[in-house]
Every structure is written in structure tokens, then in C-alpha cells.
Amino acid sequence: MLYAGIDIGSLTGKAVIMKDDDLISSSIIQVKRNPVLTSELVYTDALSKTGFTPDEIDYCVGTGYGRERIPYINKSLSEISCHGRGAFFLNNAIRSIIDVGGQDCKVISIDEYGELVDFRMNEKCAAGTGRYLEIMADLLGLALPELGAISLKSKTPISLSSECSIYAQSEVLNYISRKIKKADIAAGINHAMAQRVHKMTEKINLQPKFTITGGVAKNVGVVKALERLMKVEFQSLSIDSQLIGALGAAIFAKSYW
């Protein structure tokens, strides 16, 4: 049997195709002018790698920011449930998931069956999201993927006092004008991001073992800073961290068929 999971976020669209219990294809693309177009392009790309057509997919579940706009899905589910289920499928010892996407941050607790126990979500401000890092990388003249790696070269990280993303930008611009090294500024940015996420984790009873999903999981600077603050080691996952929501959606699709 064939199942699909589609995750349309604020910055990227993701698709996963599964045959029984095996992930056979996936795709990640930047979002287009609307969620419908994004969903069609990412689904087509994932299917093109398999040789299957949409008519051969038995069930498809959508998730993410744009899930209600996906025209071809059979059901839509919250990304909170999907990230929990996807991470649990890859490692059934995981009980706590931190998902940092482009628009929001979610802290998720699951039980020994992969079922949702509790969660916290922050979407009031860009601070603590992938969008925050995107803005900061742009200020530094860096590509987003460079922000994590360069921060590891820092010897004297700067400190950002503001929790507001707008005021934090002013602080960063001030450091840039003072010719502070990019590595030190990047380290400060990543640490500030980790601090905001850490505050969310303190509002919920989280149990080992931990993992981190979403695009920000690819930023080694944020991940290492968050591990230090939480005094934990995140479990690595066997697929791209941005695909976990789509994977969870596909697993739910199988359970609904």
C-alpha cells in the first residue's frame, strides 16, 4: 500500500511517500506564492522519484501551516501530532521533541506509544523561530546554513539582551558597526535563540529521550547551545530533520486507511 504525507510550512514544503513501512521518496522545496502551488510542486517532485501517480496513493494526510489549503489530501492534522509521530517512528525511545520551524516553535511530549501527552507553542514573535535566524543571517551577509558553522569559531560570543526580534536586530547592527567578528555575533545570535527555546521547555514536563526537528535542527550552533542549557544530548534521526512532520503525516495516513 502507498501513503503520502504533505507538510506545508511557512518557509518550506515537504512531502514523504511510503510503501507499507518504508519511506521510498521525499522532497523539500521553498514555498511558492501560495500553499496550493507549493503542495502541488512538492508532491509531484516526490512522486516523480517513485514512478507512481497520485491515483495510486491510497491515503494522503496534510499538515503544517498551509494544510487546509492542500487540495488533494484525505485528511489534515496538526504538525504537533505529526512531528511527535514521525520522531517516534524513527526512534521509539524518544519522549520529547522540540520542533523549531520558520514561523513557530513547539515543545512536544509523547508517551510510550507515540501519543501526544502535552505541548507548548510560541508564535507571538519571530524570536525563537527560523525566521529570526533568517533575518539575522541576512544582517551578517551570510547564507542561513552558514550561521551555525561560523558560530563554532567564536572565541568571545556577544550577548543579546533583548527578547524582541526587532530590538535584537538593532543590537546586532550595533555590533556590526563596531566591527565585531561575524563568528562572535553569530554565536551570540544562536545562543539567544537557544535561550528562548529553553524557556519554553521549562514550562512543560519533558522526559528523556530528546530530539529536535525542523529546519533549525540543522543549525549546529543552536543545537549545541540548547544541549548545554538543557543538559541533554539530542538523539539524531535517520532522515532530514525537516521531513519529520511529513513523515508523521504519512504514518497517520497508513493508520487511517
Pairing of strands 96-100, 210-213: parallel
Banded model confidence at residue 163, pLDDT cuts 50, 70, 90: confident
List, as one string, the DSSP characters of 203-244: TS---S-EEEESGGGG-HHHHHHHHHHHT--PPP-SS-GGGH
Whether the domain at 1-91+238-257 and the domain at 93-236 fall into the same CATH topology: yes
Q: Which residues contact 239 (CB under 8 A, 6 or more apart)?
A: 23, 26, 90, 247
DSSP state of 60: E
β-partners of residue 63 are 7
Which is more confidently placed, 130 or 175? 175
Phi/psi for 98 (5° steps) reads -110, 115
* 3-class DSSP assignment, residue 49: coil
Domain limits of the chain?
A: 1-91+238-257, 93-236
User: What would the pLDDT profile of 32-83 be if each residue is shown by its tens digit?
Assistant: 999 999 999 999 999 999 999 999 999 999 999 999 999 999 999 999 999 9
pLDDT at 161: 85
Tally of CB atoms within 10 A around 151: 25
Helix (H) or strand (E) holding 86: helix 79-90
User: CATH for 93-236?
Assistant: 3.30.420.40
pLDDT (tens digit per residue) in 79-127: 999 999 999 999 999 999 999 988 889 999 999 999 999 999 985 566 6
User: What is each CA distance from 85 to 27, 177, 200, 238, in whole angstroms?
Assistant: 19, 46, 21, 14
pTM: 0.93
Specify the residue for cell string 508517551.
111
Topology of the domain comprising 1-91+238-257: Nucleotidyltransferase; domain 5 (3.30.420)
